[in-house]
Amino acid sequence: MTRPGKVVIVGGSSAGLATAEALRRQGYEGALTVLDAERHLPYDRPPLSKQVLTGAWEPSRTQLRSQQQLASLDAEFLRAAPAVICDAGERAVTTATGRVVRGDALVIATGLRPRTLPDQDELAGVHVLRTFDDAVALRRDLAAGRRLVVVGEGVLGAEIAASARGMGVEVTLAGFGSVLMGTQIGAMMGGLLTRLHTERGVDLRLGVAVEALAASGGGRVCGVRLSSGELLPADVVVVAIGARPATEWLEGSGLTLGDGVECDAYCRAAPGVYAVGDAASWHHEGLGRRLRLENRTNATEQAQTVAANLLGAERPYTPTPYFWTDQYDAKLQVHGLPAPAAETHIAEGDPAQGRFVAVYRENGGVTGVLGWNMPKQARLLRQKHLATPRGGKPAATVRSAP
């Protein structure tokens, strides 16, 4: 591919911004337009469920770059400008206000939208947590002594429960799985995490489905009804039941949409069209299968490859997946793809001391390494076992909140 004269990036958060920066760093001097539905300057999402929710950080601290740093990119930034139509063949997008932006190359970086329960938008006191505004609204609604019900036992639900306990909130967490984060870290590690939450005072209802949200006369949520018949009283509810790729605006674009924007090994969805970050599903040559990752490190790493390929490199993207989560005083760092069914053993340290590394094996090979307050040792075992990702049948989405 010849170098594009103009690149249009749709979605200007972690992955979109990293792509713009990587293009400039790799010597791209052409025109660059970045459009985003957000009205805020680009911000980082991981602190939203941790430092912002607990109040340890002012929300503004999540801003990824200063105005000056953004200006130095010599790009046109269109904010509060959601793309609503895409013509992939023309590499053109139309915004909600009817403006058409055309490029020689197009990068899709629109991330995810949270899944919701029926009718939740009608009720006050029911939240999701994806954006800056979501975090500010949830923090405002929580106060010591209030009763929070978190729906969803995945990583996001678990983080919110931990942060809310830190604020003195009464927390009940209800989820379908039998342990916290079971789909991401398996039964053994999920069991340890579940125990940690119980010790810290979270009231757990696991292995149950949520049937409905209950409302008071005033249109505010007052509880969550479970399939067991139990009604969990609540002043505030957070629904953290996963998210789906934000690709509705690409319907009819000519691109293939499955679980995300389907790309080849080079993150290319069509000639001159690439996808990056949470919204991208690509063929991982090392694993020999399609993958879509929902984690912060992937947003940055994939952007480097997409930028290089936009400039003609033809480089397949073959990362070793990685995500972290912070809950109470535990930092979990997960390398590779630890399938829920993988055999798990403690390779170093001791769970009783709250510091250890677990190794996941499947089909005779190591597929994942989990460090629990042991970052260095986990990294060394990752280098030893996961330099080239191995196969098996890991979950397609590493960081999700089912």
Q: Is 112 in the site for ligand FAD (CB under 6 A)?
A: yes
Exactly one of 45, 91, 268, 390 binds ligand FAD (CB under 6 A); that residue is: 45
The residue among 294 and 301 lying less far from ligand FAD, judged by its C-beta, is: 294
Q: Which stretch binds ligand FAD (CB under 6 A): 20-28, 120-128, 226-234, 288-296?
A: 288-296
Q: Is 333 in the site for ligand FAD (CB under 6 A)?
A: no
**Contact pattern from residue 56 through residue 95 relative to ligand FAD, giving x for each residue in contact according to CB under 6 A and a dash for the rest:** --------------------------xx------------
Exactly one of 320, 325, 327, 397 binds ligand FAD (CB under 6 A); that residue is: 325
Contact between residue 293 and residue 397 where contact means Cβ atoms under 8 Å apart: yes
**Contact pattern from residue 145 through residue 184 relative to ligand FAD, giving x for each residue in contact according to CB under 6 A and a dash for the rest:** -----------x----------------------------
The residue among 93 and 202 lying less far from ligand FAD, judged by its C-beta, is: 93
Exactly one of 46, 191, 286, 391 binds ligand FAD (CB under 6 A); that residue is: 46
Q: Would you state the structure tokens that stand for residue 389, as one six-digit string?
A: 């990702």
* 147-151 vs 170-175, strand pairing mode: parallel
Collapsing DSSP states into helix, strand and coil, what is residue 52? helix
Nearest to 275 by CA among 265, 283, 263: 263
| Range 289-303 burial, b when 16+ CB lie within 10 A, else e | eebbbbbbbbbbbbb
Q: Is 246 in the site for ligand FAD (CB under 6 A)?
A: yes
H or E element that contains 399: none
Q: Would you state the structure tokens that stand for residue 217, as one six-digit string?
A: 């006369």
Exactly one of 33, 51, 62, 110 binds ligand FAD (CB under 6 A); that residue is: 110
Nearest to 32 by CA among 43, 41, 22, 42: 22
Q: Is 38 in the site for ligand FAD (CB under 6 A)?
A: yes
Q: Would you state the structure tokens that stand for residue 258, as one six-digit string?
A: 């499955």
Nearest to 146 by CA among 212, 220, 242, 217: 220
Q: Is 49 in the site for ligand FAD (CB under 6 A)?
A: yes
Q: What are phi and psi of 109, to 5 degrees?
A: -140, 50
Nearest to 108 by CA among 258, 303, 293: 303
* 112-114 vs 126-127, strand pairing mode: unpaired
Q: Which stretch binds ligand FAD (CB under 6 A): 37-45, 215-223, 253-261, 308-316?
A: 37-45
Q: Which stretches of the chain bind ligand FAD, using CB under 6 A?
A: 10-11, 13-16, 35-38, 45-46, 48-49, 82-83, 109-112, 129-130, 156, 246, 249, 277-279, 294-297, 299, 323-325, 399
